[in-house]
Amino acid sequence: MEEAWLRSRLESGRSIESIAREVGKHPSTVVYWMAKHGLVSSHSALHAARGAIERGQLERLVEDGLTVEQIATALDRGHTTIRYWLKRHGLATKRARSLTEHVAGGDTLRFCRRHGFTPFVTTRDGHWRCKRCRVQAVSDRRRRVKQILLEEAGGACVLCGYDHYAGALQFHHVDPEAKAFALADGGLARSLERARAEAAKCILVCANCHAEIEAGVATIAPTGPCRSAT
């Protein structure tokens, strides 16, 4: 669309919808050319003084299929402002509705940018979160906590010196009676302070040496390290 022609229509007070009908185009096309030419709708000034955006005005733009970005251009407002008033009026763009929740098999499914449509759960503060992202975050934190505990415990098996793979290193409680919880069974998901306190009751061994200790093939000296049983 030519800038001079579009400017004249806007300055005469024509709405985006009426201009779109005149040229037989979708309103989003008019918005595109407005943005390209740096033009704004004269109707946006009607609401600038008081800061509010009327529901009817937003509703028409939403029904025409405009995105948040296109609505912001049409009304000469920021994206955050548009999202605020959409939420305030209980409205959602067509794109948002296509990505939002639907229920199937008892699970609440929403769109995750990493995993696509997948089950979501609500957090303590009332926000939605992808279950798979949450599981991944917990796994990542457990690995970080374990790495801290491994480094503080010397980073190697006290019996054979193995230190090649963190996943093969385990914490063995020297005194089973003092054991509050197993670090391998969800213990790493607790606070770092509690995990450290529990790790202080343990010695660090590799999976093979741990199996030998449990089977009685290897024993633990009263003062600490493991030694082979004879």
With 70 as the cut, is the pLDDT of residue 14 above it? yes
Does 210 or 101 have the greater pLDDT score? 210
- Asked if residue 221 and residue 210 are part of one domain, the reply reads yes
Residue 155's nearest CA partner among 169, 145, 141, 172 is 169
Residue matched to tokens 């579009």? 6
Same domain, 24 and 81: yes
Do 190 and 118 have their domain in common? no
Tokens (6 digits) for 168: 């093969």
Residue of higher predicted confidence among 161 and 36: 161
Q: Is 90 found in the same domain as 108?
A: no
* pLDDT at residue 171, as a whole number: 94
Domain span at 127? 99-133
Confidence of residue 128 (pLDDT cuts 50, 70, 90): confident
Q: What was the pLDDT predicted at 229?
A: 46
Say whether both 53 and 119 belong to one domain: no
The total domain count for the chain is: 3
Distance CA 213, CA 205 (A): 9
Residue 28 confidence (pLDDT):
81
Average pLDDT, the chain: 83
The pLDDT of 178-201, averaged and rounded, is 86
C-alpha to C-alpha distances, 209 to 167, 206, 216, nearest whole angstrom: 14, 5, 10
User: pLDDT over 70 for what percent of the chain?
Assistant: 85
Please write the tens of the pLDDT for every residue from 17-58.
Answer: 888 888 988 888 888 888 888 887 766 554 444 468 888 888
**pLDDT at residue 43 in the model:** 63
20 and 89 co-located in one domain: yes
Higher pLDDT, 205 or 182: 205
Quick one: 86 and 30 in the same domain? Answer: yes
Task: Supply the pTM of this predicted model.
Answer: 0.49
- Residue type for 64, please? D
pLDDT over 90 percentage in the chain: 27
Query: Is 155 found in the same domain as 183?
Result: yes
Indicate if 42 and 19 belong to the same structural domain: yes
Confidence band of 206 (pLDDT split at 50, 70, 90): very high
Distance CA 30, CA 15 (A): 10
Per residue in 79-98, pLDDT (tens digit) is 888 988 998 888 888 777 66
Closest CA to 55 of 144, 209, 47: 47
pLDDT of residue 193: 92
pLDDT of residue 51: 67
Least confident interval from 42-46, 114-118, 150-154: 42-46
